Amino acid sequence: MPVSLSTRRAPDRSGAVAQLPGGLCGTEAPTDLAPPAAAPSRSRPSVEGAGRIAAARRALLDERRQLTLDELSALAALPDGDVPGLAALAHAVRLEWCGDMVEVEGILSAKTGGCPEDCQFCAQSSRFESPVRAVPLLSHDEVLSAARETVDVGATEFCLVYAVRGPDERLMTHLEEVVPLVRRETGLQVAVSAGIVDDDQARRLAAAGTHRYNHNLETSRSFFGSIVTSHTWDERFATCRLVRDHGMELCCGVLLNMGETVGQRIEMIGELRQVEPAEVPVNFLSPRPGTPLADRPIMGALDAIRWIAVFRLGLPSVILRYAGGREVTLGDLQAMGMEAGINALIVGNYLTTLGRAPAEDLRMLADLRMPIGALTKVL
Ligand code: SF4
């Protein structure tokens, strides 16, 4: 059965078609498109903020040096009135370090639910009472059909996501067949997200033509144990290292708003610098029913803009991608995020839920006069 990126849904336990939450092996899926947080009132820019932003501008644009984590902490602590200035600097840094191109990606959940891991944000974990029903591995034809739809919406990158702890031999064989198939038949760059890999698996994935491998650190090392107990942050870190060792680009994302502190978000930036990702998807928690984080509040839209900007200022050369939770978190401020440091986005569905229509995102990029094209890490 063909799988549509724009229409694919999975049935809930009652048999009804439902939007489903997704996990973060690839990208946290957004929830149904609930109303965004109310617009915050904004104070005026502060004198102190103007000074810190000017100093950061000199460092990043004139001296072309990375900010220290202390400098980033000071920027992250600025009052709301300074967020537009922070966003404007982040946009200028993105243009200077990465250019004006925006990369568009389609992702496909090629094996959904039933994951044995216990990531507390993830509705694909078999340990929680979420409405997600496990769906087995998609066929080659289903994957290819979804890839062709990705081409039709103008994407250059196609990410296959599997809800697993790591690939077993059956999945490895599948990947060694579908990655070259999709590349050959569509011309798309193919990314894979299949959990923790060992050295030989990383070698085989690279040999199959995997362009990027996604493996998220999700959160800081100091907070990870509060969110996941079935594997460690160090295991994730080791997989990230193997990806680069075998010549694939690393896509390594974060999920914000799980209860981490401001300091732990800055810690994340420092840890991402250690694994040198080509791409960093920024996910915002979309609390999923049945998961331990179901009752967490959604992040405020202005705060999300602040953190997009801080991540860009901390990681000036990466492909910073809008990922899961952006619709519900940012609402009408999604275009502002594109001018706060973002230079890539996922269009169509996320893992197992629907994003907004691809046409809306493409219209947003056209309105912003942002050209679409393939990106690779600048440095
Ligand atoms: S490892 Fe499993 S539970 Fe954890 S984010 Fe990935 S799919 Fe979800």
Whose CA is closest to 71, among 82, 57, 92? 57
Ligand 1 contacts CB of residue 330 (under 6 A): no
- On whether the CB atoms of residues 126 and 113 are closer than 8 A, the answer is yes
pLDDT in the model for residue 32:
38
Ranges of residues in the chain with a pLDDT under 70 are 1-42, 349-355, 374-379
Ligand 1 contacts CB of residue 119 (under 6 A): yes
Q: What is the pLDDT of residues 280-330, one digit of tens each?
A: 999 999 999 999 999 999 999 999 999 999 999 999 999 999 988 888 999
How far does residue 228's CA lie from ligand 1's centre (Å)? 9
Ligand 1 contacts CB of residue 161 (under 6 A): no
Distances (CA, A) of 237 to 271, 272, 295: 9, 9, 29
Ligand 1 contacts CB of residue 25 (under 6 A): yes
pLDDT in the model for residue 355:
65
- On whether the CB atoms of residues 356 and 363 are closer than 8 A, the answer is no
Tally of CB atoms within 10 A around 128: 20
Burial letters 252-282, b for 16+ CB under 10 A, else e: bbbbbbbebeeebbbbbbebbeebbbbbbbb
Whose CA is closest to 247, among 217, 205, 280? 205
pLDDT in the model for residue 157:
86
- On whether the CB atoms of residues 365 and 334 are closer than 8 A, the answer is no
Atom of ligand 1 at shortest range from CA of 115: 2
For tokens 């919406």, the residue is: 153
| Architecture of the domain made up of 98-367 | Alpha-Beta Barrel (3.20)
Ligand 1 contacts CB of residue 219 (under 6 A): no
Residue 295: alpha-carbon gap to chain centroid: 22
- On whether the CB atoms of residues 367 and 339 are closer than 8 A, the answer is no
Tokens linked to 359: 């046409």
